Homo-oligomer: A and B are copies of this chain.
Amino acid sequence: MNMTASHDLGRRERRRQETFQRIMRAAFELFAKHGYADTAVEDITEAADIGKGTFFNYFPTKDALLLAIFDAVADRFQQFRLHIPEITDVRKALTEFTHATLQEPARSPNIIRGIFGAALTQPTIGEKFAKTVQVARQTAIALFERGQKLGQVRNDISAELLGRNYQQFIFGTEMIWTLTPDQDLHEWINSMIELFWRGALAPTGQDASNRKEI
């Protein structure tokens, strides 16, 4: 490959990334405004200012775009997971991790409603969603394992159980928030974390006083 061809390839790849991001941004905004179900591919292509043919070069269907969102979210969890061995304050990390999961695409009740609704009513989306849920859970489990290792998290129940319970709590918070979205989600999440953390904490009773002396 000569230099010019390599440059062309670089430019093409950059363009491709730009267009991909433009479609994703337009889709997010429309999903947030009108919900997933009520957004058509035409709405997305118009907002992104691209032709329908271009859209279909990236995503064969609107559902495929949703699946790409799941992949992006799963990627974010896996990135976070790589840094778990360096964590020293598990409660702080758990809080940051949780708020990070509520960035895009989960910033709007319409988007959460759209994602949960599609996952619950369309089996193929549900299956793919369940896989992302698994990746997220493994990340949470790894974080609780780290907490147990550091003596910050109770070890009389398994990290698996803590991770699953924590995930349940996040999902329920998001779901109820989408039904009554008059309050700030991050505030809800903070009170949820406080309560959960107290349940998950290494005990301050008989067990903890031993632990402190180690």
Contacts and interface: CB of A to CB of B under 8 A. Distances in A.
Interface of A: 35, 37, 113-114, 116-121, 126, 129-130, 133-134, 157, 161-162, 164-165, 167-173, 175-176, 178-180, 188, 191-192, 194-200, 204-205
B179 A175 contact: no
24 contacts: A35-B121, A37-B121, A113-B121, A114-B120, A116-B175, A118-B121, A119-B179, A121-B121, A126-B179, A129-B179, A133-B179, A161-B191, A164-B176, A164-B188, A165-B169, A165-B191, A168-B188, A169-B172, A175-B175, A195-B199, A197-B199, A198-B198, A198-B199, A199-B199
Nearest to A178: B120
A179 B132 CA distance: 11
Contact of A167 (B119, B172, B191, B199): B172
